[in-house]
Amino acid sequence: MKSIAIKILDQRVTTLPEYATPGSAGLDLRACIDAPLTLEPGQTQFIPTGIAMHIGDPNYAAMILPRSGLGHKHGIVLGNLVGLIDSDYQGPLMVSMWNRGDAPFVIEPMERIAQMVIVPVMQPRFHIVESFESESERGTGGFGSTGTN
């Protein structure tokens, strides 16, 4: 199993990110803030997680995704919709929190605010062609070309 280097930047962080269940895809990220923080409707705010992570292998990246419950019930999602963490990033892991709902939402210190998924990444080479080797069933059809039901 791969091991990824984590730096603890804030002494309030006492545990490493962990998978809640053996089958979890996401690691919960926590709000490393001093005091409860109110996110007004429409407001976006960077929230520190108190950790830095160096994936260090270009074959992997991390994606930060909203927690379903926060997004669905409270409209608390990500200001960048999805956060992408490059394998060479060594800075503090930040979560952009966006209140797209219509009520203020209070983020409590060390509350779980988002989740992070480590994903494989391919960095292919590219080459230019005049036409593709074979025509696929889809061809150039897109944007609903397969129908609506």
Ligand X SMILES: O=c1ccn([C@H]2C[C@H](O)[C@@H](COP(=O)(O)OP(=O)(O)OP(=O)(O)O)O2)c(=O)[nH]1
Binding residues for substrate: 67-69, 80, 84-86
For ligand X, the binding residue among 93, 97, 107, 113 (CB under 6 A) is 93
Angle (CA) 108-23-62 rounded to 5° is 65
Strands 27-30 and 105-107 come out as unpaired
Interface with ligand X (CB under 6 A), residue total 11
Per-residue 3-state assignment (H helix, E strand, C coil) for 92-137: EEEEEEEECCCCCEEECCCCEEEEEEEEECCCCCCCCCCCCCCCCC
Q: Contact between 6 and ligand X (CB under 6 A)? A: no
Residue 63 beta carbon to ligand X: minimum distance, rounded to whole angstroms: 9
Selected range binding ligand X among 10-18, 68-76, 89-97, 120-128, rule: CB under 6 A: 89-97
In this structure, what are the phi and psi dihedrals at residue 140, rounded to the nearest 5 degrees? -95, 5
Q: What's the rounded Cα separation, in Å, for the pair 125 and 34? A: 46
For ligand X, the binding residue among 6, 8, 96, 101 (CB under 6 A) is 96
Residue 17 beta carbon to ligand X: minimum distance, rounded to whole angstroms: 13
Q: Contact between 85 and ligand X (CB under 6 A)? A: yes
Which among 59, 64, 60 is positioned nearest to 26, based on CA atoms? 64
Residue 13 beta carbon to ligand X: minimum distance, rounded to whole angstroms: 15
Q: What's the rounded Cα separation, in Å, for the pair 72 and 45? A: 19
Binders in 41-80 for ligand X, by CB under 6 A: 64, 80
Q: Which residues bind ligand X (CB under 6 A)?
A: 64, 80, 83-86, 89, 93-96
